[in-house]
Amino acid sequence: MRLTSFQLFTILLVADAIALIAGIGIGSSGVNFNFLESPLSEKIILDYRLPRTLLSMIVGAGLAAAGCSLQALFRNPLADPYILGVSSGASVGAAFVILFGIASTINIMLSAFFFAIVTCWVVYRIGKTETGIPVYTLLLAGVAMAAFLSGVTSLLIYISALDIYKVVFWIMGGFWTANWLKVQAVSIPILASSLYLILSSWNLNAILIGEEHAMSVGIDVEAFKKRVIAATALLTSAAVSVSGVIGFVGLITPHSMRLIAGENNRILLPASLLAGAAFMPFVDLISRTATTGEIPVGIITAMLGAPFFLYLLRRSKVAA
């Protein structure tokens, strides 16, 4: 029996609360929920675990919302937030500042964000035609740009071995450098873009049925595509700039919620956002407690996401 909207959102909000509490109370130094136990405990919880958990929740929510919106826009359940080359562009930006010795927190964030946004703009300009924005042209442009920028990143790593491990760790994705500055920097763009997409969920439903139907109910399809692409680009660029490349979150979460909530984006999109906000802290918790060191979050999501992607591919093949 399918859950009602109230039941689904209640379960997801409880999951978010549990993820927040677990992220704050559990870490590599053990389990500790007592702020007043010692000054060290207070510092660990307030200055390390809390911003790290909040950042993972915000990034997870943003990637899930972007993935859900692009899957509706492209009418393809295999679409994800990185399909327009955002992650490759951000990797080039981060590699530049790291390998040229100016890798402060703010410089990495700004450079990764700038290169990611520019990449999206270039992909959009390449994919755009005189008659509009064909979906497959846009996707092919994104694939080509991602391949090119991945080569640029590899070249930068090859010609400069200094601090190479920093670039590799950034590309793997994770939250070990989380701080309050990063939380503040991404909160507004991610929350604002997510709110716009949620408010546009009715239009996404119309697009999902078909562009002809969307036009028949009064939607300016090409203008709406531009706005959705801009919002998802902002979401993904902001997320990648503070966490590195964490794949498959925008693919796993929306599709999992689709199996429970159905195709209605007025329910699916906020459900995916809440699910992403719960999923990412739990993955981060595994990354920092599974071993004595720390496993990059991107490795864990790839190990979870790749089999899920193959399942989706096989399922879509059978349906066809």
3-state secondary structure the chain: CCCCHHHHHHHHHHHHHHHHHHHHHEECCEECCCCCCCHHHHHHHHHHHHHHHHHHHHHHHHHHHHHHHHHHHHCCCCCCHHHHCHHHHHHHHHHHHHHCCCCCHHHHHHHHHHHHHHHHHHHHHHHCECCECCHHHHHHHHHHHHHHHHHHHHHHHHHCCCCHHHHHHHHHCCCCCCCHHHHHHHHHHHHHHHHHHHHCHHHHHHHHHCHHHHHHCCCCHHHHHHHHHHHHHHHHHHHHHHHCCCCCHHHHHHHHHHHHHCCCHHHHHHHHHHHHHHHHHHHHHHHHHCCCCCCCHHHHHHHHHHHHHHHHHHHHHHHC
Q: Does 134 score more than 80 pLDDT? A: no
> pTM of the entire structure?
0.90
- List phi, psi (to 5°) of 26: -120, 135
248 sits in the region (left: phi over 0; alpha: psi -120 to 50; else beta) called left
Closest CA to 201 of 68, 57, 45: 68
Residue 317 confidence (pLDDT) above 60? no
Regarding beta strands 30-31 and 26-27, do their DSSP bridges make them parallel or antiparallel, or are they unpaired? Answer: antiparallel
Query: Looking at the predicted structure, is the pLDDT value of residue 267 above 90?
Result: yes
- What pLDDT was estimated at residue 27? 73
Per-residue pLDDT reduced to its tens digit, 171-205: 888 998 899 999 999 999 999 999 999 999 999 99
- For the stretch 207-236, pLDDT in tens is 988 888 888 888 898 899 889 999 999 999
91-107 pLDDT, tens digit per residue, is 899 888 888 778 788 88
* Amino acid in position 129: T
198, 270 contact by CB (below 8 A): yes
pLDDT per position as a tens digit, 5-17: 899 999 999 999 9
pLDDT tens across 111-120, in order?
999 999 999 9
Per-chain mean pLDDT for the chain: 86
CATH of 5-319, one of 1.10.760.10, 3.90.550.10, 1.10.3470.10, 3.30.420.130: 1.10.3470.10
Contacts of 301-310 with C-beta under 8 Å, sequence gap 24+, read 301/173, 301/246, 301/247, 301/248, 301/249, 301/252, 302/247, 302/248, 304/248, 304/252, 305/247, 305/248, 305/249, 305/251, 305/252, 306/248, 308/248, 308/251, 308/252, 308/255, 309/78, 309/248, 309/251
**Residue 20 pLDDT class (50, 70, 90 cuts):** very high
Pick 311 or 186 by higher pLDDT: 186
